[in-house]
Chain A
Amino acid sequence: MNSAVHRREPWILLGLLVLLLAGQALALACGRYGIGIPRLFEILWLRLCDPAKLVDNADAMVLFSLRMPRLLAAVLVGAALSASGAASQAVFRNPMADPGLLGVSAGAACGAAAGILWTDSVYMIQAMSFAGGVLAVLCAAGLARSVHRGGDSTLTLILCGIVVNALCTALLSLAKYGADPYNKLPAITYWLMGGLTGVNGADTLRAAWLVPPALLVLWMLRGPLDALSFGEEEARSLGVRPMPVRLGAIAAGTLLVAGAVSLCGLVGWVGILVPHVARLLVGPRFSLQLPASILLGGLYLLGVDTLARSAFPLEVPLGIVTALFGAPTFAMLLARGRRAWS
């Protein structure tokens, strides 16, 4: 009887991994500049065995300097947002919790807007966006610490997150209002719509180095997070200190989202939808839900980005497609009988 538990889940994870790899091959071959699967593998083979033949090859150029960085960025952003969403749903014990609850996305948007106003350097904008996201969460946490007077600390944290979110939104509006309407304002607006257009290898790597350590932290906290999702007192009684676990998960989640947003702008609905679907597939245990969210998130954003850049006559910003896709999917999940929460 015991062996019947969790026999299915590893296979689901394996299936998702295979799908992600296949999706990557497909995404590399797809696009308005058609390469095709056979030609893709031919180029990859040449790259390994005889790179000299690929000098000045247009297909190879498109593949290695445009599509690969973008593919990597899409998978990373999807994985980061989904993992962070899974973590915040466990920390806040709420299946509706969004990774931006404490203001990280709004803060990062604010930082990016400020960066766009002050400079044209992509590097600086990315750095300011990242700093803005982290700063917003620090503000929310600091505020929660100073106003907390006993009682439900999670609720205090959420309320402080709402305050910080509101402030960041106001500051963002201020930045837009003050921006030069002919070049800066459109730049801010496009940035806010979210997208991976023009992402290059260097940008991606700058955001990417954070992802493995943050995911590792979340993985290490998988047991305590399961306990914490039953409530603070039960977690304590099971020998778990709620505060360090919460802080660790929030810090890791914040770094993931700040990195993702600084790379590609606001891409909504991933962090709430993907952990949901992951929970439907493998159940709520964090040790299964986290890897499922990572794989599914990478797959989802890869698919959406490929769609965004190749299905329409004009490239549609990623944030719009994720919302157009995510919201109805979420509604569909709500309507379904079997639920990932109760």
Chain B
Amino acid sequence: MSLAIESLSLAYGNRTVLEDVTFSVAPGEIVALLGPNGAGKTTLFRALLGAHPIASGRILLDGQGLAALSPRERARRMAYVPQIHHPPFPFPVIDTVALGRLSHLGVFATPGAVERAAAMEALVKLGAEHLALRAVTDLSGGERQRVLLARALCQGAPLLLLDEPTAHLDFGESHRALETVRALADQGHSVLWTSHDPDQVLRFADRAVLLSQGRVRASGVPGEVLDTLAFSEVFGVDAAVGSVHLEDGSIHRRCIVKGSR
């Protein structure tokens, strides 16, 4: 599934929060959305979810206008992994994941044994089957992220939207979560991912889009986007991309902050 955003503008009343934004996500590709808080990332995601009206421009899924799709049709094409939050009720993990099948069922139906089997399959795929009977409220951040990814997988949607998937995760959990995302992309999923961590973007994304004050300031290969003057300006730092040579001979690209502007 390819996502194309064409000259998209979004507004809250008279205040424009996104102006003339154009970029796309191809199948098998991870595109990272970078930008300071208030750049318009959250509003863009809300528009993708159909929760915010489009002022002008288009959002296309495989060439088809998003606005023409019903919420259920959209859910079958596009799954969303929210930022980690604390759910209010102790739903069992397996039922949480099975909710991913809702858009495939009748409007007044609820997931049953068949959907729980699909949920189990998704959990097994992400190596989280041991969590199936736990309550979502009892999980660690990394475990909960894995469960939400499993739900997105269970949803059967080829496009994944990840809203800061590593926020509130520790060092190891973050890395493992993104490895899973990378593996899903390699299997053909398209991924749009918002991130605050340049190093993670360098390591895992195929392309990066830099958003600031509602406009695209730079886009392209992560190593180049992070090395632009725009990137330093947007974040108010003096940043550069460099290579780290480790003693074992491996070379890693890192974003280095040399100072603030």
- Within 8 Å by CB of B102, from A232, A238, A339, A342, lies A238
A230 interfacial contact with B, CB 8 Å: yes
- When the two chains form their complex, are residues A238 and B90 in contact, meaning their CB atoms are under 8 A apart? no
Which of B19-27, B70-78, B176-184, B228-236 contacts its partner? B70-78
A283 and B88 in contact (CB under 8 A), knowing A221-B108, A239-B71, A239-B103?
no
B113 interfacial contact with A, CB 8 Å: yes
Interface residues of B in 89-106 (CB under 8 A from A): 89-92, 94-96, 99-100, 102-103, 105
Instruction: Give Cα A342–Cα B103 distance, bound, in whole angstroms.
Output: 28
- When the two chains form their complex, are residues A341 and B89 in contact, meaning their CB atoms are under 8 A apart? yes
- When the two chains form their complex, are residues A230 and B87 in contact, meaning their CB atoms are under 8 A apart? yes
B85 interfacial contact with A, CB 8 Å: yes
A-B contact pairs, 5 of them (CB 8 A): A5-B132, A226-B110, A227-B99, A238-B102, A238-B103
B109 interfacial contact with A, CB 8 Å: yes
Instruction: Give Cα A341–Cα B136 distance, bound, in whole angstroms.
Output: 11
A284 interfacial contact with B, CB 8 Å: yes
- When the two chains form their complex, are residues A233 and B49 in contact, meaning their CB atoms are under 8 A apart? yes
- When the two chains form their complex, are residues B89 and A224 in contact, meaning their CB atoms are under 8 A apart? no
- When the two chains form their complex, are residues B50 and A236 in contact, meaning their CB atoms are under 8 A apart? yes
Instruction: Give Cα A287–Cα B80 distance, bound, in whole angstroms.
Output: 24
Contacts of A1 in B (CB 8 A): 120, 129, 132-133
A: contact size bracket:
35 or more
Contacts of B102 in A (CB 8 A): 223-224, 227, 238-240
Interface residues of B in 196-218 (CB under 8 A from A): none
A237 and B79 in contact (CB under 8 A), knowing A1-B120, A283-B92, A341-B88?
yes
A241 interfacial contact with B, CB 8 Å: yes
A340 interfacial contact with B, CB 8 Å: yes
B62 to chain A minimum Cβ distance, whole angstroms, is 18
- When the two chains form their complex, are residues B91 and A236 in contact, meaning their CB atoms are under 8 A apart? no
Q: What are the 5 A-B residue pairs with the smallest beta carbon separation, nearest first?
A: A239-B75, A239-B103, A237-B80, A223-B110, A284-B89
Chain A 270-289: CB-based contact to B (< 8 A → 1; otherwise 0) = 00000000010001111100
Contacts of A176 in B (CB 8 A): none
- When the two chains form their complex, are residues B155 and A238 in contact, meaning their CB atoms are under 8 A apart? yes
- Within 8 Å by CB of A5, from B86, B94, B99, lies B94
B111 interfacial contact with A, CB 8 Å: yes
B137 interfacial contact with A, CB 8 Å: yes
- When the two chains form their complex, are residues B108 and A233 in contact, meaning their CB atoms are under 8 A apart? no
- B contacts with A, residue count (CB < 8 A): 47
Instruction: Give Cα A95–Cα B71 distance, bound, in whole angstroms.
Output: 28
B252 interfacial contact with A, CB 8 Å: no
Seen from chain A, the residues whose Cβ lies within 8 Å of a Cβ on chain B are 1-2, 4-5, 93-95, 149-150, 220-224, 226-227, 229-234, 236-241, 279, 283-287, 339-342
Contacts of A341 in B (CB 8 A): 88-90, 137
Contacts of A340 in B (CB 8 A): 89-90
B46 interfacial contact with A, CB 8 Å: yes
Instruction: Give Cα A93–Cα B12 distance, bound, in whole angstroms.
Output: 26
Instruction: Give Cα A34–Cα B46 distance, bound, in whole angstroms.
Output: 64
A284 to chain B minimum Cβ distance, whole angstroms, is 4
Closest-by-CB residue of A relative to B104 is: A239
Instruction: Give Cα A236–Cα B50 distance, bound, in whole angstroms.
Output: 8
Contacts of B129 in A (CB 8 A): 1
Contacts of B244 in A (CB 8 A): none
Instruction: Give Cα A236–Cα B70 distance, bound, in whole angstroms.
Output: 11
- When the two chains form their complex, are residues A2 and B117 in contact, meaning their CB atoms are under 8 A apart? yes
- Within 8 Å by CB of B72, from A95, A226, A232, A239, lies A239
- When the two chains form their complex, are residues A223 and B108 in contact, meaning their CB atoms are under 8 A apart? yes
A283 and B87 in contact (CB under 8 A), knowing A220-B108, A222-B110?
no
Closest-by-CB residue of B relative to A150 is: B12
- Within 8 Å by CB of A223, from B51, B94, B109, lies B109
- When the two chains form their complex, are residues A284 and B91 in contact, meaning their CB atoms are under 8 A apart? yes
- Within 8 Å by CB of B110, from A93, A150, A230, A287, lies A287
Instruction: Give Cα A2–Cα B78 distance, bound, in whole angstroms.
Output: 27
B189 interfacial contact with A, CB 8 Å: no
- 6 additional A-B pairs beyond A150-B13, A233-B82, A239-B72, beta carbons within 8 Å, are A1-B120, A2-B113, A226-B91, A232-B51, A339-B90, A342-B86
Closest-by-CB residue of A relative to B50 is: A236
Instruction: Give Cα A5–Cα B12 distance, bound, in whole angstroms.
Output: 45
B173 to chain A minimum Cβ distance, whole angstroms, is 20
Contacts of A236 in B (CB 8 A): 49-51, 71, 80
- Within 8 Å by CB of A226, from B50, B99, B132, lies B99
B146 interfacial contact with A, CB 8 Å: no
A221 to chain B minimum Cβ distance, whole angstroms, is 7
- When the two chains form their complex, are residues B110 and A342 in contact, meaning their CB atoms are under 8 A apart? no
Query: Among the interface residues B99, B100, B105, B161, which one has the most CB atoms of the partner chain A within 10 A?
Result: B99
Contacts of B82 in A (CB 8 A): 231, 233-234, 237
B49 to chain A minimum Cβ distance, whole angstroms, is 5
